[in-house]
Amino acid sequence: MTTLYAFGDLALVLIASIGIEVLVASLFDIGDRGLAAVALVTLVTNPVLNLVVGQLIYGNYSNDYPRRSIALVIVAEVAVVLIEWGLLVWALRKTAGGPRKLLGLSVTMNAASFVGVPFIYVTVVMFLTNLWSLVARA
């Protein structure tokens, strides 16, 4: 994962994740400080999640590849939900509604990101690929 293309992929995923998670957080009425905290927490956890999961999945060439990959992603996502929740509780203390509300936020924004980012990624990559093929023909 040291190619420029891989870093471009990570950047696109990070930008999409921050956008989705901040949008979801805005629905939870946590204020500007809360939205900034969500963006910063995502900025920290998302690249780590993607690099760790990528290394664990692509570094594993056993016959159990699909089953093990799904399990790793689920475990990693649950870990991120809990880590982000802890960071948000620490950063916002009681200014954003308390730990229970922030746990709901963490679960909701990560679920939305988990579903939305692949859609955005595929859409953008397909658009850029088609655009490149049009430019290459000209």
Note whether 88 and 41 are within 8 A (CB).
yes
Note whether 109 and 38 are within 8 A (CB).
yes
What is the four-CA torsion angle of 84, 86, 88, 90, rounded to 10 degrees?
A: -150
Q: What share of the chain is helix, strand, coil (3-state, %, to 5)?
A: 85, 0, 15
The owner of tokens 């992929």 is: 9
Q: What is the pLDDT along the chain (138 residues), one digit of tens a residue?
A: 344 446 667 888 899 999 999 999 999 999 999 999 999 999 999 998 888 877 766 665 555 556 667 778 888 899 999 999 999 999 998 777 889 999 999 999 999 999 998 888 888 878 878 787 778 776
Distance separating alpha carbons of residues 74 and 10, to the nearest angstrom:
19
pLDDT digits (tens, 9 = 90+) for 64-75: 556 667 778 888
pTM of the model: 0.80
